[in-house]
Chains A and B, each alone.
Chain A
């Protein structure tokens, strides 16, 4: 397991403040400033007025389900996709006029790997380093360091297609670091990886974070957001639903604990009616009922006293999943 994110490391933000940017600018100039960012494809607004700021060294997350507009936002911040409206500044530059300059300072890990499968592992780093105009000597040295960082030293001469999914991901991250970027953009970095591969990747990303690299990442995994993000926005249908630190969002939008009870899928909704008054709030899902409360065990006792006997029960801490459910009425992974 990688170490848990030390949330108190950075100056605390008043996440409740809607004008969070103001308080950040006093701490240090933000690296990324997005204001009322809009991207339309015909009539469809993929991103519909998103505003956020990311401070240097901060690890900032965009959390939301598939199709929420996260990747589109990332491509605009990556100075690749042009915005339809709004203001955007990365390192004090406008992507419309300074695309190459901005991109020279970014490392980009796209949602699906686009390594060159016609080249070998190390060659992928060499050709990519060239794009930044770096001298061959520097690239070769960094390529070896990054292969070590990505735990791929042995694979330098291997064909890309012979790598596992996790290895390809790590190679993509190594490639994104070849220019020693100020900001690393990660779009769904661990989607499709098995748990072990995810943990290795989180560990690598956590090291970067410790070195002070600014991270901007999208994810629809709660545990990932909790592991890696100092601060995040919950995005749904192209708009921001909430903003804050993970702990802060949980405090604001959920209770401390959650009691999950199952009565069998055909009885859940029927039983739910008889649970009124128990817990702060309940959510009925197809397979289970969630009861939000400061003390899950106590609620379970009350349910049993009411003569209801769940097939299974589980008390857990609230997570960002609960925040999302509260904000949108939907679960993240459907």
Chain B
């Protein structure tokens, strides 16, 4: 073989590589999402049952059951001039997004990096670490949206979303779920070993957040020294936003802007954090 010929062969190989890199460079994140959807398919049952069952139980227990006590004993003004069911429904919707986030952005992330290192497998293919992160977030966002739409339809069945733009509360929930979720993913990505950190997150962050985010009663009923938990909580911001959409809850417009901006900032920050960790961790 002459050198000229072999150099040509080499150029062929290089050109082929460059051509083959095009699609993965553009669509890599989507390929990861497709993989995640296939995995999620194996627990579709859980997603649907939890997606319908949970809202049913919560809406019934709180919006109908607890509401009989609240509505009988408190003036409507205590929860902003609407029935307790209407008050609590958008908040439950926002919490459902947090639940999905804490399912999908914790152990599955640890799994992908460590226990069943599919992320390592992906990073040996043309996919880049950032695309792996994007794909995971994209797939969870879709799953979350499915859950939230189901939830919203049930709220409609309960007649608990009077506003004509009530469907926008789905987006409020999605924003809150992703704001909390991407940050959670960033944190879960940093964990080399699970020595109970994720269980701690559930117990000492997720649970208090649900209690102190104005879900069951307005944040303003708390003493001022406890209200800061609500202000930093993505759930409070998404809950308030969902209420604005769901029943036209009256708050100053600047506050609505703050909700959206705060959640957007968290999403971007968590996303960038998770990407950075992925680049570092998969490129070792």
Hey, which bits of chain A sit against chain B, CB under 8 A? Answer: 25-29, 31, 41, 56, 75, 78, 80-82, 91-93, 98-106, 108, 110, 112, 114-119, 123, 126-128, 130-133, 179, 182
Contact = CB atoms under 8 A, between A and B. Distances in A.
Contacts of B121: 110, 114-116, 128
Contact of B21 (A82, A98, A118): A98
A31 B6 CA distance: 11
Given A29-B6, A81-B283, A92-B14, A127 B38 contact: yes
B contact residues, range: 35 or more
B49 to A, nearest CB: 19
A179 B31 CA distance: 15
A116 B7 contact: no
A285 B10 CA distance: 48
A114 B120 contact: yes
A119 B11 CA distance: 38
Contacts of B122: 131
A131 B126 CA distance: 7
Contacts of A31: 13
Contact of A92 (B13, B123, B127): B13
Nearest to B10: A29
A103 B18 CA distance: 10
B116 A28 contact: no
Interface string B172-183: 000000000000
Interface string B13-45: 110111011111101100110110011001000
Nearest to B1: A28
A132 B1 contact: no
22 contacts: A27-B1, A29-B6, A81-B283, A81-B284, A91-B14, A92-B10, A92-B11, A100-B128, A103-B126, A104-B21, A104-B24, A110-B124, A114-B118, A116-B116, A117-B116, A118-B39, A127-B31, A128-B125, A131-B32, A131-B125, A133-B22, A179-B20
B18 A101 contact: yes
Nearest to A99: B128
A98 B284 contact: no
A116 B119 CA distance: 10
Contacts of A78: 124
Contacts of A41: 284
B156 to A, nearest CB: 34
Given A98-B21, A105-B20, A118 B126 contact: no
A182 B31 contact: no
- Label chain B's interface by main secondary structure: helix
A78 to B, nearest CB: 6
Contacts of A118: 39, 42, 116
Contacts of B24: 100, 104, 131-133
A140 B22 CA distance: 21
Given A80-B282, A119-B39, 4 more contacts: A75-B284, A110-B120, A110-B124, A131-B28
B13 A182 contact: yes
Contact of A28 (B9, B125, B282): B9
B39 A98 contact: no
A113 B122 CA distance: 12
Query: Considering residues B17, B22, B122, which has the most beta carbons from chain A within 10 angstroms of its beta carbon?
Result: B17
B10 to A, nearest CB: 4
Contacts of B195: none
Contacts of B128: 99-100
A41 B34 CA distance: 35
A119 B38 CA distance: 8
B117 interface: yes
A133 B31 contact: yes
B31 to A, nearest CB: 5
Interface in B188-233: none
A115 B120 CA distance: 10
B3 interface: yes
B34 A127 contact: yes
Contacts of A108: 124-125
Contacts of A80: 123-124, 282-283
